[in-house]
Amino acid sequence: MKNHPLRIIPLGGLGEVGANMMVYEYDNQLLVVDTGLMFPENDMLGIDYIIPDISYLTARRDKVKGIIITHGHEDHTGAIRHVLEEISAPIYSTPLTQGMLEVKLARSGMAQRAHLETIRAGDNRKIGPFSVDFFHVCHSIPDAVGLGIDSPAGLIVHTGDYKFDHTPVDNWPTDYAKLAEFQRRGVLALLADSTNSERAGWTPSERVIDSAFDKVFREAKGRIIIASFASLISRMQQVAEVAQRYGRKMAFAGTSMVDNEKIARKLNYLDIPENTIISLDEALNRKDRDVVIMCTGSQGEPTSILGKLSTGSHRIFDIKVGDTVVLSSHPIPGNEENVYRTINRLFERGANVIYESIAPVHVSGHASQEEMKLMMHLTQPKYFVPIHGELRQLKRHAALAAEVGIPQENIAVVLNGQPVEFFEGKMKLGKIVPTSYVFVDGSGVGNVGPDVMHEREELSQEGIMIVNLGVDKFTGKLSRPPEITSRGFIATNGSTNLVDGLRKRISETAVRSNGSLQKDVEQVVGNYLYSETHRRPIIIVNTFKA
Amino acid sequence: MKNHPLRIIPLGGLGEVGANMMVYEYDNQLLVVDTGLMFPENDMLGIDYIIPDISYLTARRDKVKGIIITHGHEDHTGAIRHVLEEISAPIYSTPLTQGMLEVKLARSGMAQRAHLETIRAGDNRKIGPFSVDFFHVCHSIPDAVGLGIDSPAGLIVHTGDYKFDHTPVDNWPTDYAKLAEFQRRGVLALLADSTNSERAGWTPSERVIDSAFDKVFREAKGRIIIASFASLISRMQQVAEVAQRYGRKMAFAGTSMVDNEKIARKLNYLDIPENTIISLDEALNRKDRDVVIMCTGSQGEPTSILGKLSTGSHRIFDIKVGDTVVLSSHPIPGNEENVYRTINRLFERGANVIYESIAPVHVSGHASQEEMKLMMHLTQPKYFVPIHGELRQLKRHAALAAEVGIPQENIAVVLNGQPVEFFEGKMKLGKIVPTSYVFVDGSGVGNVGPDVMHEREELSQEGIMIVNLGVDKFTGKLSRPPEITSRGFIATNGSTNLVDGLRKRISETAVRSNGSLQKDVEQVVGNYLYSETHRRPIIIVNTFKA
């Protein structure tokens, strides 16, 4: 059999597009690992979410042998429907991940189209030229897996998101034995999660939260409301345990929270006695000190349950004095303002708010520096490629690898679109593949590009001023006073003088203008508004003959 | 002499408006402490900055006896020109603060109008009915003061921004003796900075940065570029010292950085030998390993020097491989995305980037919890009012006061506009004074209100669609095809079908419509766009008779 190079092509997850997607390619056969989305940054105006450009895949759609989803988080699953619109290949995932994918696919009417293959940690599957070992990893969602991807070019360990939690809530630690086995077989390259590469030490175990929760329950006199990520199943388990200890019933609020709780219970990832769980309605009718409500909104999202509670705009319940609200989360960069605003508003409504800086009510799901080094020592790879992170995090992870003793020239820090190739035991960088952001806005995929984004930016900063001119079709002069409309510029009641001044200047311009009335008026309006207000709104001048 | 109540009225700095401004009022005479501005949050679109509503002052302009500025940071000085436009009263500040105010006032053409009174830490001044002791505090700018404000109603200690640094760079620690003296005189109330109330322990001394800087200079082979706050004079001093140790010359880049360096050197707050400082031009012409450049942009501001370097858009120099860039700062909440993006881009351009999570190159200028408790013990106030902070920080500071032993009923957590009154040794809350944000945008103050902000929000999310209809003045029917313009909606080249469909529906509507053509078309356009794109741009329909 002829040898081929193994190409690993990051389409997402490295550098700016945090939506994780990686392609493994051998002998013209492709394996996709993860199909993530990314939520927009604050200056990506009006965008719902961002997905990787998958044109590399669509150009090779018949060669895609399989898609592996390592776990059920949006940054690993969220683009699945966009991928399935183009690619037809079996999707390999663990039962919980599959349950979450099924909900997502059903919602976009794609359930029929998907061929879902259940795998379990410990399984091995042949997918095209690849022999894939799935191994269990701890993360902030149960049933996550890492991958040992073997091909004639060598064995690659792809960690997925992971941490080494010795006392996870589901008592299922990361599979050290499998990692050691890979090491015995010889690891050509380790591709490892870089998210927390700037954090020293070891990420605390999920278990450390228990005592903080215990204190909250011991001291709370009224209702307890706990906001967390909807997918953080282990946090539900922890709340359920302390709720039982203190004789409180537990309710869930928020569609995604309820969905995930149902799937997780059905598939036995949550162990909560039936009589501990009540409906939200029932919770609101019980005595305050007998209930705990888990809800969405720990990132301060204005439309989430907690967001609505903080502004008093929830349809069926309100914060009241005596409530204890726990934000069991850490703000994702970019969300800080929303999170802090939500906390301030909850305080203002009389709640006692407990959050990360007050008590250890959250831990990260990602490995910190000492765990990263352990991963390197366990697998002893020849080559190292940091994945899942911004460039600063990849660089830091690479520096850790060098500290551990991996030679600098065997470490590749690459960004999306930069293939890493392995042939006869040697690594080199391949020719760059075009990648980019694809913005998804409403039902449109990719029809909001840089130009539209730039217009939105301008509109958001200064607003728009629209001038309609009626022009006499014989004389070319104004046939009526200019009509002036604005949006997002300044309050019109405060600016009568401004509008009057504008009318006057437009009329004057129309008298002297010969030919390019529209352009002349545009310029005069722009100059006048800037001199009066030091602002430059978008200006649109329409002329019509009448 | 008849006794009067002392009223302390927060116009800014407590809760949402982080622009610090406090009014002390006794016997109908007012003393203003600080006149700050606040920079907009990410969703305050197009706003330059925010100032407190000062209508309480303008209604009493003849009663204002003085304005004290505790130090030269924008959140304490930035609204001075807006205040001086309404109020004419002497401004008391230390020499450095005054130097910075002079630059600011000269720039807005108000230098003539201001009556600046120089005070020094240790001074006492009678200002109306108040006897004010100015005492030195350490902070992230030199020459900061706290205040002992005495009146017949009692002695108030107003800390301003402070920390207890035992080894500050200028060797001038916070004035413990004066605080102890206040305690002996009897402190009615302590008003203390709450910024870091969520941080355990003691804020590290500025001196801890020295060894991190030393390592940077020891290891850097090429240029060193250090970004920091322009007002962080002590950081300039520290860089200068290590630069001399390693034989590098020092240059400054960025208007505000250069301004502050000049003022600070002129007034002897910076002790740098003349021959250590060179111009930026000269620095760029010297050998890389012989220079260090200090510049603005440590918050990732796109228009700052560092922001421009990160995008390769600076007018006179570029990042090159081998540069070491230090961000000597901590991201202010809301700036994280910009800061991390700047770091990533600098890495991408080949710089070695050193920032907070890599080495201790920054410390806070505000007291942490143990320092806050020390302040309470030193002054032993009867009453406690946390100032300078969001509600969550004020609450936390109040909880610390309770831990230290101040009775709960003697602690007042209040927000802007809530007067605190002291009469015959008792504290009570007064009648709320109207306060709010005033947005400053371009040259306009206050003419951008909630309605305009809401329009900008809508424009930024979905854009605008403008439809012009020519209507026959006799038949009321369309006299020509509709003209359709959009901004910030979707790329028009990708949406020919959409525009065609829209024209068709508008024409159909015009045929059936009788009377309210404009309204009918608005509705049809809105429904059609939503059904096709799931988006709701702002829609403006103009009709003109022709």
pLDDT score, position A494: 54
Of A457, A533, A540, the CB nearest to B485: A540
Q: Would residue A359 count as lying in a domain?
A: no
CATH number of domain containing B531: 3.10.20.580
Of B198, B336, B468, the CB nearest to A542: B468
Taking CB atoms and an 8 Å cutoff, what residues of chain B touch A459?
A: 456, 459-460, 463-464, 487-488
Of the residues A381, A416, A445, the one at which a domain ends: A445
How far, CA to CA in Å, does A399 sit from each of A365, A369, A373, B320? 22, 10, 11, 20
Q: What integer is the mean pLDDT of A387-395?
A: 97
Asked if residue B296 and residue B392 are part of one domain, the reply reads no
CA dist., res. B473 & res. B467, Å (int): 18
A209 pLDDT above the threshold of 80: yes
B494 pLDDT above the threshold of 60: no
pLDDT score, position B219: 97
Q: Of A5 and A46, which is predicted with more confidence?
A: A5
Q: Which of B76, B82, B158, B366 is catalytic?
A: B366
How far, CA to CA in Å, does A366 sit from each of A141, B154, B447? 11, 54, 47
How far, CA to CA in Å, does B140 sit from each of A391, B236, B369? 31, 11, 17
How far, CA to CA in Å, does B94 sit from each of B37, B171, B192? 20, 17, 20
Of A43, A337, A483, the CB nearest to B542: A483
Q: Which of B193, B259, B323, B441 is catalytic?
A: B193
Of A42, A395, A535, the CB nearest to B42: A42
Instruction: Report the 10 Å Cβ neighbour count for B117.
Output: 15
A366 in active site: yes
Q: Of B447 and A238, which is predicted with more confidence?
A: A238
Per-residue pLDDT band for A1 (boundaries 50, 70, 90) equals low
Between chains, do B464 and A463 touch, taking CB under 8 Å as contact? Answer: no
Of A340, A462, A495, the CB nearest to B46: A462
Interface of B with A in 467-506 (CB under 8 A): 468, 470, 483, 485, 487-491, 494-495
Q: Would residue B456 count as lying in a domain?
A: no
For residue B375, give its domain range. Answer: 6-201+364-445
Asked if residue B219 and residue B175 are part of one domain, the reply reads no
Q: Would residue A455 count as lying in a domain?
A: no
**CA distance to partner chain B, nearest, from residue A139 (Å):** 23
**CA distance to partner chain A, nearest, from residue B320 (Å):** 17
Of the residues B445, B474, B489, the one at which a domain ends: B445
Q: Is A374 exposed, middle or buried (0-12, 13-18, 19+ CB in 10 A)?
A: middle
pLDDT tens track for A244-277:
999 999 999 999 999 999 999 999 999 999 999 9
Q: How many domains does chain B have?
A: 3
Interface of B with A in 391-420 (CB under 8 A): 391-392, 395-396, 415
Q: What integer is the mean pLDDT of A404-414?
A: 97
Between chains, do A358 and B396 touch, taking CB under 8 Å as contact? Answer: yes
pLDDT score, position B493: 59
Between chains, do A466 and B540 touch, taking CB under 8 Å as contact? Answer: yes
Backbone angles phi, psi at A125, to 5 degrees: -130, 140
Asked if residue B257 and residue B163 are part of one domain, the reply reads no
Q: Would residue B87 count as lying in a domain?
A: yes
Percentage of chain A lying above the pLDDT 70 cut: 99
Asked if residue B475 and residue B437 are part of one domain, the reply reads no
CA dist., res. B181 & res. B176, Å (int): 9
Q: What integer is the mean pLDDT of A467-493?
A: 83
Chain B contact present for A356, CB below 8 A? no
Taking CB atoms and an 8 Å cutoff, what residues of chain A touch B533?
A: 442-444
Chain A contact present for B533, CB below 8 A? yes
Q: Of A444 and B359, which is predicted with more confidence?
A: B359
> Where is mean pLDDT largest: A156-160, A491-495, A539-543, B513-517?
A156-160
Q: Would residue B452 count as lying in a domain?
A: no
Confirm if B179 and B210 have CB atoms less than 8 A apart: no
**CA distance to partner chain B, nearest, from residue A451 (Å):** 7
Of A390, A460, A546, the CB nearest to B45: A460
Asked if residue B539 and residue B467 are part of one domain, the reply reads yes
**CA distance to partner chain B, nearest, from residue A42 (Å):** 7
Interface of B with A in 271-310 (CB under 8 A): none
B76 in active site: no
Q: Which of A34, A75, A150, A193 is catalytic?
A: A193
Instruction: Report the 10 Å Cβ neighbour count for B321.
Output: 9
Chain A contact present for B546, CB below 8 A? yes
Q: What is the ipTM of this complex?
A: 0.89
Residue of A nearest to B457 (CA): A460
Query: Which among B452, B486, B492, B538 is the top mutation candidate for probing chain A, defined by the most A β-carbons within 10 Å of its own β-carbon?
Result: B452
Chain B contact present for A108, CB below 8 A? no
pLDDT score, position A159: 98
A521 pLDDT above the threshold of 80: yes
CA dist., res. B166 & res. A51, Å (int): 51
Q: What integer is the mean pLDDT of A498-509?
A: 88
CA dist., res. A162 & res. A388, Å (int): 11
Between chains, do B337 and A334 touch, taking CB under 8 Å as contact? Answer: yes
pLDDT tens track for B100-145:
999 999 988 888 889 999 999 999 999 999 999 999 999 999 999 9
pLDDT score, position B204: 96
Residue of B nearest to A458 (CA): B460
pLDDT tens track for B176-234:
999 999 999 999 999 999 999 999 999 999 999 999 999 999 999 999 999 999 999 99
Asked if residue A336 and residue A378 are part of one domain, the reply reads no
Chain B contact present for A347, CB below 8 A? yes
pLDDT score, position B450: 81
CATH number of domain containing A192: 3.60.15.10
Asked if residue A126 and residue A21 are part of one domain, the reply reads yes
Asked if residue B433 and residue B475 are part of one domain, the reply reads no
Q: Would residue A142 count as lying in a domain?
A: yes
β-pair partners for B412: none
DSSP secondary structure string for all residues of B13-65: SBSS--S-EEEEEETTEEEEE----BPPPTTSTT--EEEE--HHHHTTGGGEE
Q: What integer is the mean pLDDT of B249-269?
A: 95
pLDDT tens track for B47-86:
899 999 999 999 999 999 999 999 999 999 999 999 999 9
The first and second tokens of residue B274, run together, are: 């003349």
Of A45, A455, A491, the CB nearest to B487: A455
Asked if residue A281 and residue A213 are part of one domain, the reply reads yes
Q: Would residue B142 count as lying in a domain?
A: yes
Name the least confident of A502-506, B287-291, B423-427.
Answer: A502-506
Between chains, do A461 and B46 touch, taking CB under 8 Å as contact? Answer: yes
Asked if residue A101 and residue A50 are part of one domain, the reply reads yes
Confirm if A30 and A65 have CB atoms less than 8 A apart: yes
For the packed helices B369-379 and B391-404, what is the interaxial angle rounded to 10 degrees?
50
Q: Of A531 and A143, which is predicted with more confidence?
A: A143
Of B336, B533, B538, the CB nearest to A334: B336
Of the residues B325, B354, B383, the one at which a domain ends: B354
Q: Is A171 exposed, middle or buried (0-12, 13-18, 19+ CB in 10 A)?
A: exposed
Asked if residue B309 and residue B186 are part of one domain, the reply reads no
CA diameter of chain A: 90
B287 pLDDT above the threshold of 90: yes
Q: Would residue A456 count as lying in a domain?
A: no
Q: What integer is the mean pLDDT of A96-105?
A: 95
pLDDT tens track for A272-304:
999 999 999 999 999 999 999 999 999 999 999
CA dist., res. A60 & res. B247, Å (int): 58
CATH number of domain containing B259: 3.40.50.10710
Chain B contact present for A463, CB below 8 A? yes
Between chains, do A347 and B392 touch, taking CB under 8 Å as contact? Answer: yes
Percentage of chain B lying above the pLDDT 90 cut: 78
Taking CB atoms and an 8 Å cutoff, what residues of chain A touch B336?
A: 333-334, 336
Asked if residue A377 and residue A257 are part of one domain, the reply reads no
Between chains, do B462 and A357 touch, taking CB under 8 Å as contact? Answer: no
How far, CA to CA in Å, does B376 sit from each of A309, B164, B516? 35, 13, 69
Query: Which among B391, B440, B457, B479 is the top mutation candidate for probing chain A, defined by the most A β-carbons within 10 Å of its own β-carbon?
Result: B391
Taking CB atoms and an 8 Å cutoff, what residues of chain A touch B15?
A: 344
CA dist., res. A541 & res. A522, Å (int): 6
